[in-house]
Amino acid sequence: MAGVSCKRDFEGGEDAEKGDFVGVKHMTDVGLQRLPTKYVLPVTERPILKPVAVIQERHLPVIDISGLGGERHSEVVAAIGQACQEAGFFQVVNHGVPVSMIRDIMRVASEFFELPLEERKTYMSDDMTKPVRYGTSFNRLKDQVFCWRDFLKLYCHPTQKWVHLWPSNPPDYRKVALDYSEEMRSMAERLMSAIIESLGLPQTYVEKICKDGSQVMVVNFYPACPEPELTFGMPPHTDYGCMTILQQDSVGGLQVLRNGEWEAVHPVPDSFIINIGDHLEVLSNGKYKSIMHRAVVNSERSRVSVATLLSMPFESNIGPAPELIDEDHPPHYRETNFSHFIDLISTKTFKARALLDSLKLA
């Protein structure tokens, strides 16, 4: 590979275009110094890496959820409801997830990306519905410009159905990911129950949304990038499902769009970042917001995040909850389902807010 690393059209990038997988981790491992053309965004879409303000706590509330189910229950539910309505994003602390479990999942996530490329590649697939899928960017076959991210995506629910397919290396990957995803499920159910209550909807919705709904773990690896001003770790997007629970290391890179400005989210150790997805915006008839966010990369440090995506059951439809609709509150979205979303992402080039835009009623 000697001699190629200073050229813009590094072989690895070109190979990726021809269908051979390399990924960004490998390119940094071999000392790439300039981004392959495939990763260079058009000038108008590039992140402007001028300092971005750090989002203030009142716009990204930190919520202590230990009070759910106790004396402070209504207070916590109200805080969650307000955060969903005003910010679409919040952080949770005192969540009951053991710190050792958080440390372990972040460790095995990093260790997986340190495996030789040949081993990681055995999980590689372009089939968006594969229960275990290793890849780069979002959709390698459709993305016009790639983003600076490799990922490992695992189906998690019910765990017994999928665990035997998960990577067996690092040796404790399965055990750690199993404990973590079951803990995430339990926290997601507590949060979803609070969210449904805060909307004034009956708890039957929790079951409708959570029971048999999908849970996917996405491990994102963003290597240090030689030209971070030309690309994204993840371009601006909203999350499609009901809710995302993000755990990240201390590097930082997540930014949230607020009043037309990007604001940086400062990692708070051992907390989780929760955000509302498109399907919950639809269910709430627009009261709760699925907010645009993105991840930027930097030239100094690689970054790892583990996102848990909670979605409706594959076959069920979702629309604005009838309880929230009356003469004064007409539905703002048409009904949709999960397969509509899969069609959208697998047939079209990536577009921010594509799902919500396709559902919005005038």
Give the interface with ligand OGA as residue ranges (CB under 6 A).
Answer: 218, 220, 234, 239, 244, 246, 248, 253-254, 293, 295, 305, 307
DSSP H helix total and E strand total for the chain: 11, 14
State the maximum Cα–Cα separation within the chain, in Å, rounded to a whole number. 69
Q: How far is the CB of 234 from Ni ion (least distance, A)?
A: 6
Residue nearer to Ni ion on the CB measure, 169 or 214 = 214
Distances, alpha carbon 57 to alpha carbons 64, 75, 83, 90, 291, in Å: 13, 18, 11, 9, 16
Contact region with Ni ion (CB under 5 A), list: 33-41, 121-129, 145-153, 234-242: 234-242
Quick one: what does residue 218 bind among Ni ion, ligand OGA, none, with the CB cut-off 5 to 8 Å set by partner type? ligand OGA
Q: How far is the CB of 126 from Ni ion (least distance, A)?
A: 20
Contact region with Ni ion (CB under 5 A), list: 89-97, 235-243, 255-263, 266-274: 235-243
How far apart CA 318 and CA 336 sit, in angstroms, is 5
Q: How far is the CB of 227 from Ni ion (least distance, A)?
A: 23
Query: Is the distance from CB of 288 to CB of 201 less than 8 angstroms?
Result: no
Quick one: what does residue 254 bind among Ni ion, ligand OGA, none, with the CB cut-off 5 to 8 Å set by partner type? ligand OGA
**Residues whose CB is less than 8 angstroms from the CB of residue 293 and which lie 6 or more positions away in sequence, other chains included:** 89, 236, 237, 238, 254, 255, 256, 257, 275
Query: Is the distance from CB of 285 to CB of 160 less than 8 angstroms?
Result: no
**Residues whose CB is less than 8 angstroms from the CB of residue 204 and which lie 6 or more positions away in sequence, other chains included:** none
End-to-end alpha carbon distance in the chain:
54
Quick one: what does residue 345 bind among Ni ion, ligand OGA, none, with the CB cut-off 5 to 8 Å set by partner type? none
Q: How far is the CB of 352 from Ni ion (least distance, A)?
A: 11
Quick one: what does residue 295 bind among ligand OGA, Ni ion, none, with the CB cut-off 5 to 8 Å set by partner type? ligand OGA
Quick one: what does residue 101 bind among Ni ion, ligand OGA, none, with the CB cut-off 5 to 8 Å set by partner type? none
How far apart CA 242 and CA 309 sit, in angstroms, is 8
How far apart CA 131 and CA 154 sit, in angstroms, is 6
Residue nearer to ligand OGA on the CB measure, 197 or 239 = 239
Q: How far is the CB of 222 from ligand OGA (least distance, A)?
A: 7
Q: How far is the CB of 246 from ligand OGA (least distance, A)?
A: 6
Quick one: what does residue 163 bind among Ni ion, ligand OGA, none, with the CB cut-off 5 to 8 Å set by partner type? none
How far apart CA 168 and CA 178 sit, in angstroms, is 12
Residue nearer to Ni ion on the CB measure, 10 or 221 = 221
How far apart CA 342 and CA 310 sit, in angstroms, is 15
Quick one: what does residue 290 bind among Ni ion, ligand OGA, none, with the CB cut-off 5 to 8 Å set by partner type? none
How far apart CA 235 and CA 222 sit, in angstroms, is 13
Which of 239, 263, 278, 281: binder of Ni ion (CB under 5 A)? 239
Residue nearer to Ni ion on the CB measure, 112 or 151 = 151
Query: Which residues are at the interface with Ni ion (CB under 5 A)?
Result: 239
